[in-house]
Amino acid sequence: MLKIKEIKAKSIIQKSALPGSDFVINPYIGCLHGCIYCYARFMKRFTNHPEPWGKFIDAKVNAPDLVPRNIKKYKDKSIGISSVTDAYQPIEGKYKLTRGVLKNLITLQPDLWVLTKSDLIIRDIDLLKQFKKCVVGVSLSTMDDRVRKEVEPFATSVERRIKVLKELKKAGIKTYVFLSPIFPFLTDWQGIIEKTKNFAGEFWFENLNLYPSLRNNIYSWLKNHHPELVKKYQEIYFTKNNYWNKVEKEIDDYGRKNKLNFKIYFHH
């Protein structure tokens, strides 16, 4: 059973701890994509929700009104939308909080970045085009939609995400692909690059970080869908090895050889 609650937030622009970002905005608390690897589930302990992560949403209904007007401290500063939620998850179709936030950010003209798994963002191309500095990222962990349904059951299909990149490119908006997380033996990162390189100006890479809070989820998924990989994952994450160093070098070599604009954010 899904629990949706409307709340009033005290502020909407928060200082960011993310690399390359000064501030972040999250119009919602919680996310309905159901990604088994979601690192943001740590947010649950701040919500007083008894429901499990992925089964509740708090909509910050006053979010657009909390965007300040003409504050110079945000000019040329980086503001990211979606650091612990997806601002374009399906509920945004009803509440339009992200759209309201974008409208009110235009006068501030920050260095804007957005990250999403949803094609709902196409709706807001008219607003995104009004930012002098704007880049939109689409997150992809696989090109195989069967695997996507296993790890991101309620998120937008791979095909529809690629359409997002095409539409943004057509509109003259800068784009990047966030290859995250890279699943050992399952994520064909070269295949993702080949499929999207004509529509993406940049590629970011992040490997699967097996936080203690995620281990049960990941191993349960592997046992049910890819039992042949259980032992291999245990070796990668719980024995001394250089697996991720090798993958990182492969990506670096490939990126340089193909003259890609890329960043690697690996945990290892």
Tokens found for residue 161? 């995400």
Neighbouring CB atoms inside 10 A of 224's CB total 9
Q: Are 244 and 219 in contact (CB under 8 A)?
A: no
Per-residue pLDDT tens for 166-205?
Answer: 999 999 999 999 999 999 999 999 999 999 999 999 999 9
* CA distances in angstroms from 31 to 40, 62, 165, listed in the order given: 9, 18, 22
Instruction: Indicate which CATH number applies to the domain containing 183.
Output: 3.80.30
Domain count, the chain: 1
How confident is residue 40, by pLDDT bands cut at 50, 70 and 90? low
Q: Which residue has the tokens 């690897």?
A: 37
How many residues does this entry show for the chain? 268
Q: Which amino acid is at 66?
A: L
Q: Which residue has the tokens 């947010």?
A: 43
Domain around 33: 3-264
pLDDT value of residue 231? 98
Per-residue pLDDT tens for 61-104?
Answer: 999 999 998 788 887 899 999 988 999 999 999 999 999 999 99
Q: What are the phi and psi torsion angles at 41 (to 5°)?
A: -65, -15
Q: In this predicted model, which residue has the larger pLDDT, 58 or 47?
A: 58
Query: Which stretch of DSSP H or E encloses residue 114?
Result: strand 111-116
Q: Are 137 and 178 in contact (CB under 8 A)?
A: yes
Q: Flag whether pLDDT at 263 surpasses 80.
A: yes
Q: Tell me the pLDDT of the chain averaged across its residues.
A: 94
Work out the end-to-end distance of the chain between its first and last CA atoms, rounded to an integer number of angstroms. Answer: 37
Q: Flag whether pLDDT at 3 surpasses 90.
A: no
* CA distances in angstroms from 227 to 142, 218, 232, 266, listed in the order given: 18, 11, 10, 25
Find the mean pLDDT for residues 243-262: 98
Q: Are 24 and 79 in contact (CB under 8 A)?
A: yes
Per-residue pLDDT tens for 113-165?
Answer: 999 999 999 999 999 999 999 999 999 999 999 999 999 999 999 999 999 99
Q: Which residue has the tokens 């890329």?
A: 262
pLDDT value of residue 46? 65
